[in-house]
Amino acid sequence: MTEKKKILRALAGETLDTPPIWMMRQAGRYLPEYKATRAQAGDFLSLCYNSELAAEVTLQPIRRYGFDAAILFADILLLPQALGAELWFVTGEGPRLSTIENQEDFDKLKSAAEIDEVLNPVYETVRILSRELPSETTLIGFAGMPWTVATYMVAGRGTPDQGPAHALKDSNPALFDQIIDLLIEGTIEYLSKQIEAGAEVVKLFDSWAGSLKGDDFDRYALEPAKKIIAALKARHPDTPIIAFPRGAGERYVGFAEATGADCVALDDGVSAEWAAENVQKGVCVQGNLKSSHMVTGGDDLVRETRKIVDALSNGPHIFNLGHGITPDADPENVQLMIDTVRGK
Ligand code: CP3
């Protein structure tokens, strides 16, 4: 029998001597080989839909660093595109989408049953990866969470405070709920297909959960997570799920228990000591080094990395950053972080 992969052991609740490690946005612009393949593809979206090249950029950080997990190369905004939203990326600025301002805009969208036509190349990327990844590397699929994806669909772009989505949910909750419900259904379909294609773990990115306060957090972050996880567990009971309600703060406490997630990913707004005390109770946590250390490196990186490893060493832990690595990061600092975690 082959030995169970380290990430899967941590997700099953095992405390390992050395935490397994991967990194958000590990395939990205800080790597020269990524930039070369992206240029070959033409642009970011063409890269996402070119299964061979998307698999290639997914494999690049595995070859360079030997991370314990590979994350499918795609984007959370492919689902709205598959639902009929227009999507394009402005170089140096970020995503742009057609907006949803009223019922008429919403009614133009497709149903969750129709997404595969656009998303089939993503499932093909997963199939290629499950053949080509080293046997010790875990393949992680992912999707954006309804609230976060809705913030882009409503505003048509990234916004500093998610203002347009807050305004729509407050002024027209009936319409906003239809968007959320469609995204819940679409996300369940999308992740089920990724799992059927070979994803061994899935991660739910709720990057803007932190702007939801009080009851809104329950209604738009916790409840959708609960529904998506329940549906996925019914279809794929053995596939672990990582939830990332970024910026949840105090609401990290009990989030895994309330939603059925196997692991919560921590951003760098909470300390590892606090998380060990309040979140890691029998539940795997992932995180949470500040990504700026990948730019600045040095003794600070080593000290902060050790601090996190130590603080979370009494329970299941997957080492990661608190958010994605940035394009200005130095690839050598990534190696230093890995060597520090692995005690080299
Ligand atoms: O982590 C990985 O290596 C896997 C691939 C991945 C990407 N995006 C590739 C990407 C994942 C998991 C995502 C998730 C994603 N996409 C999120 C949630 C996580 C987070 O960062 O909070 C969000 C909010 C998006 C939407 C998105 N995609 C934005 C706002 C941007 C522009 C910002 C930027 O960094 O340019 C993207 C583009 C994007 N997605 C890039 C990559 C590698 C950069 C595109 C490029 O090559 O120019």
Q: Is 140 in the pocket of ligand 1 (CB under 6 A)?
A: no
- Provide the CATH topology of domain 2-341: TIM Barrel (3.20.20)
pLDDT of residue 113 exceeding 50, the answer is yes
Q: Is 73 in the pocket of ligand 1 (CB under 6 A)?
A: yes
Q: What is the per-residue pLDDT for 255?
A: 98
**Comparing C-alpha atoms, which of 9, 37, 4 is closest to residue 240?**
9
Q: What is the per-residue pLDDT for 2?
A: 59
**DSSP β-bridge partners for residue 127:** none
Q: Is 127 in the pocket of ligand 1 (CB under 6 A)?
A: no
**Comparing C-alpha atoms, which of 171, 170, 162, 142 is closest to residue 209?**
162
pLDDT in tens, 28-55: 999 999 999 999 999 999 999 999 999 9
Domains in the chain: boundaries: 2-341
Can you read off the two tokens belonging to residue 178? 């239809």
Residues annotated catalytic, as ranges: 25, 29, 38, 75, 152
Q: What is the largest CA-CA distance in the chain?
A: 58
252 Cβ contact list (under 8 Å, min separation 6): 245, 264, 266, 270, 275, 278, 279
Q: pTM value?
A: 0.97
Ligand 1 atom nearest to 326, measured from its CA: 35
Q: What is the per-residue pLDDT for 246?
A: 98
> Number of H helices and number of E strands within the chain?
17, 9
State which of 23, 24, 25 you would mutate to test the pocket of ligand 1, scoring each by most atoms of that ligand within 8 A of its C-beta. Answer: 25
Centre of ligand 1 from the C-alpha of residue 25, in Å: 7
pLDDT in tens, 116-173: 999 999 999 999 999 999 999 999 999 999 999 999 999 999 999 999 999 999 999 9
Chain centroid to CA 276: 22
- Distance, in Å, from the CA atom of 196 to the CA atom of 136, rounded to the nearest integer, reads 20
What values do phi and psi take at 125, rounded to 5?
A: -55, -45
Q: What is the per-residue pLDDT for 1?
A: 47
pLDDT in tens, 255-273: 999 999 999 999 999 999 9
Q: Is 320 in the pocket of ligand 1 (CB under 6 A)?
A: no
CA distances to 60, 258, 279, 289 from 255, rounded to whole Å, are 33, 5, 8, 20
pLDDT of residue 114 exceeding 60, the answer is yes
CA-closest residue to ligand 1 atom 38: 94
